Amino acid sequence: QSALTQPASVSESPGQSITISCTGSSSDVGGYDLVSWYQQYPGKAPKLMIYDVNNRPSGVSNRFSGSKSGNTASLTISGLQADDEGDYYCCSYAGGATWVFGGGTKVSVL
C-alpha cells in the first residue's frame, strides 16, 4: 500500500491552466477506473472534485477535469482562480477492498 506519487507543488498565474499528475502502478491506478480527486483547504475536510477518473459531482466547476493514461491519472484546472489555492489529493482503488492516496500537491496561484 505505497502512496501514489504526486508533485509536491504547482504554481501558475490566474487564468492559466495547470495539470497535476498522480502516478501509481498496474495494481492501482492502471488497473481500475476508480480514481478520484479531492481538494482540501487548510484546517478543513477534503472535498470530492472528480470521481471515476473523469466525472464531476454536481456543483463542481467545469474548470476541473480528470483523465488517465496507463498508470498515471491527471487533474487539470483551467482558468485558474484565487480560490483554487489549496492541497489536492488523488485516490485510487488498490484491490482487495483497499484504497491508496497520493502524497498531495499544493497549488499556488501567483
Partner 1 sequence: EVQLLDSGGGLVQPGGSLRLSCAASGFRFNTHAMMWVRQAPGKGLEWVSSITGRGGDTFYADSVKGRFSVSRDNSKDTLYLQMDSLRGEDTAIYYCARGKSEGAVDWFDPWGQGTLVTVSS
* CB within 8 Å of 105: residues ≥ 6 apart: 6, 7, 8, 9, 10, 20, 87, 88, 89
Residue (of 105, 68, 109) closest to 85 by Cα position = 109
Q: Which is nearer to partner 1, 16 or 49 (CB)?
A: 49
User: Which lies closer to partner 1 via its Cβ, residue 1 or residue 17?
Assistant: 1
Question: Based on CB atoms, which residue is closest to partner 1, 36 or 65?
Answer: 36
Interface of this chain with partner 1, residues 20 to 59, rule: CB under 8 A? 34, 36, 38, 45-48, 51-52, 57
Cβ atoms 78, 63 nearer than 8 A: yes
Q: In 3-state terms, what secondary structure has residue 84?
A: helix
Q: Does 98 bind partner 1 (CB under 8 A)?
A: yes
Binding site for partner 1 (CB under 8 A): 1, 3, 34, 36, 38, 45-48, 51-52, 57, 89, 91, 93, 96-104
